[in-house]
Amino acid sequence: MVYFVATPIGNLKDITLRALETLKNADVIFCEDTRHTLKLLSAYGIKKPLRACHKFNEREAAEKIAACSKEGKTVAVVSDAGMPAISDPGQLVAKYLKEAGEPFTVLPGACAFVSALVLSAMPSDGFLFAGFLPDKQKERKELLESLKGYPKTLIFYSAPQDVDKDIADLYGIFGERRACAVREITKIYEESIPFSLSEGLKGEKRGEYVLLVEGDEKTSPLNALSPKEHVQKYLDEGLSKMDALKRAAKDRGVSKSSLYHELLDTADPEEK
């Protein structure tokens, strides 16, 4: 059996009794960084074989994890902090196990963006977690453009060396909005700093950040639908195909032609 185990994001006491029990009973632990995980295990007197499972070998690690499970071994999968697969290695492992029909489960626990959402005091009735922004500028711009009209809180991860650039790019696409930067969650220097995208985040950048940005409250709630559902909504109201396309494009802040091409790209072969 394979267990995906959430680990502390800062304070080592933020680990569940079930997680400790599972780690103690595991035959082998696959982890993002063996040195980092060793510190956690040592704090609780746990000694287990450690194997690497990081972004450069995750596919290979997934095969080994599945093989161990088939042999009847108990396998724990952890990342350096928080929940595996959430902006950390683990998603490919879960996918491989699912496709191989190998059972696995999750032991819930600490997760940085959930804690940051509460600490920010920003609207939490709905949100979108986007993780780290892409490194390539073209992909980064495309992602932010796709999120521009989202009406709920947007959440991003950001490394200290990237914070200023990330905020500048958010402002470049979203314009002026309220935001909050949360860092050092559960640690001594935990901070939740409100700011506006136009003014940026002041001071030296240290530690991993969670950036939270208010949604586009002026946007039509229909933008939460897929493009196809959005257009269909207007068709159901009796608009012609052309008028429905125009209305949906205006709502989403895109050109009619770009929305049309997006619909073609996502359409079933029979619909094209």
Strands 178-183 and 191-196: what pairing?
antiparallel
- Percentage of the residues of the chain whose pLDDT score is greater than 70: 95
Query: For the residues 123-129, what does the mean pLDDT come to?
Result: 94
Q: Is the pLDDT of residue 235 over 90?
A: no
Q: Is the pLDDT of residue 66 over 80?
A: yes
The predicted pLDDT at position 247 comes to 82
Q: Give the single-character DSSP code of 134.
A: P
Nearest residue to 28 (alpha-carbon basis) of 54, 2, 9: 2
Q: Which residues constitute the domain of residue 254?
A: 221-271
Q: Is the pLDDT of residue 34 over 50?
A: yes
Domain end call among 192, 213, 234: 213
- Clarify whether residues 97 and 150 are in a common domain: no
The predicted pLDDT at position 208 comes to 95
Instruction: Look up the CATH number of the domain holding residue 102.
Output: 3.40.1010.10
Q: Which comes out higher in pLDDT, residue 258 or 23?
A: 23
The predicted pLDDT at position 267 comes to 58
Neighbours of 266 (CB within 10 A): 11
Query: For the residues 100-105, what does the mean pLDDT come to?
Result: 97
**Confidence class of residue 266 from pLDDT cuts 50, 70 and 90?**
low
The predicted pLDDT at position 265 comes to 66
**pLDDT, tens digit, for every residue of 154-164?**
999 999 999 99
Domain end call among 109, 139, 168: 109
- Clarify whether residues 126 and 165 are in a common domain: yes
Alpha carbon 52 to chain centroid, angstroms:
22
Q: Is the pLDDT of residue 251 over 50?
A: yes
The predicted pLDDT at position 261 comes to 78
Q: How many domains does the chain have?
A: 3
**pLDDT, tens digit, for every residue of 165-192?**
999 999 999 999 999 999 999 999 999 9
* Alpha-carbon dihedral sign for residues 86, 89, 95, 97: negative
Which residue's entry shows tokens 């997006």?
262
- Clarify whether residues 175 and 253 are in a common domain: no
The predicted pLDDT at position 253 comes to 65
The predicted pLDDT at position 268 comes to 55
Domain end call among 109, 126, 142: 109
CA 233 to each of CA 65, 97, 239, 253, 272: distance values in angstroms, whole numbers, following the listed order: 46, 38, 9, 17, 20
- Clarify whether residues 40 and 84 are in a common domain: yes
Instruction: Look up the CATH number of the domain holding residue 168.
Output: 3.30.950.10
The predicted pLDDT at position 272 comes to 45
Q: Structure tokens of 100?
A: 């191989």
CA dihedral 26, 28, 59, 143 (to 10 degrees): 50
- Clarify whether residues 228 and 209 are in a common domain: no
Which helix (H) or strand (E) is 17 found in, with range?
helix 17-25
Would the pTM count as exceeding 0.85? no
Nearest residue to 117 (alpha-carbon basis) of 210, 217, 253, 19: 210
Residues 6+ apart with CB under 8 A from 110: 6, 7, 8, 9, 14, 15, 81, 82, 83, 186
**pLDDT, tens digit, for every residue of 6-15?**
999 999 999 9
- Helices 227-236/241-252 angle, 10° precision: 130
